[in-house]
Amino acid sequence: MSGRMLTVAATQFACDWDLNANLDKAEVAVREAAAKSAGLILLQELFATPYFCPDQKQDYFSLAAPLEGNPIVARFADLAKELSVVLPVSFFERANNAYYNSVAIADADGAVLGIYRKSHIPDGPGYQEKFYFNPGDTGFRAWDTAAGRIGVGICWDQWFPECARSMALMGAEILLYPTAIGSEPQDPSINSKDHWQRVMQGHAGANLTPLVASNRIGAEPNEAAEMTFYGHSFIADETGEKIEEADNRTATALVATFDLDAIRARRASWGLFRDRRPELYGPVLSLDGASMR
């Protein structure tokens, strides 16, 4: 007997300062994925603009907008409804005097279920996000959608096992990570692509939960550094095996299909969540590893 079958999609494309064209590219990617029967489609981080964070420019705060009445969120919520797909929408959010790197969850009926605000904010060469974004205050979340219960982290969140585990503990059946990652301006010899993938493959395997990561492609010039994004968006199964992967230059929509009920049964029988010992994990609640018990 077949269970709940879900086809998921990872997309990737290049962005520039033609902002309307970026939105059009995103719509093309969503439509391509939907034509391949995807019911849950992931777009990359901050897809409406180039990744502006290498530079610290006051003018870029004008790119942010509130959730209420947000034209980007509204456009893609309408698209989600038209295609009957679940669509997390990454956007630069302004909330009074706070600014967040956020994702709005558009369900398959076009309803916006709420938002997740990026919890971990990087600050390094090429990725000076602390200039623009407050640390997220939503906490990790899981969402009941037409595609099942999903969890969404954003880029730098994907390096933290606590994020993936929290979403899995809250019942997420699919882990999603919209991303913008590529070159390291301080050392051109660094290519983090394999490391980046292996960390997330570990999240999938450790939580017996499939995972989708969508990254951007292309070179984007900035005053501080030119960033070249390495793509390689991918889909991993519940063991962490990559079952679909893009290259570093092609705009595409990858799809894979999972039996969520079969994976749930496998997750239960493997015993990872049965044998957890939360009372021993106090050091995780501290910065220096001191037990908080």
* Residues with catalytic function: 45, 118, 155
198 in Cβ contact with 236 (< 8 Å): no
**Cα–Cα distance between 113 and 52 in angstroms, integer?**
27
Using only C-alpha atoms, the chain has a radius of gyration, in whole angstroms, of: 18
The 8-class DSSP code of residue 285 comes to G
Residue 174 to residues 160, 190, 204, 205, 241, Cα–Cα distance (Å): 16, 30, 9, 12, 14
Torsion of CA 147, 149, 151, 152, to 10 degrees: 30
Q: How many residues does the chain have?
A: 293
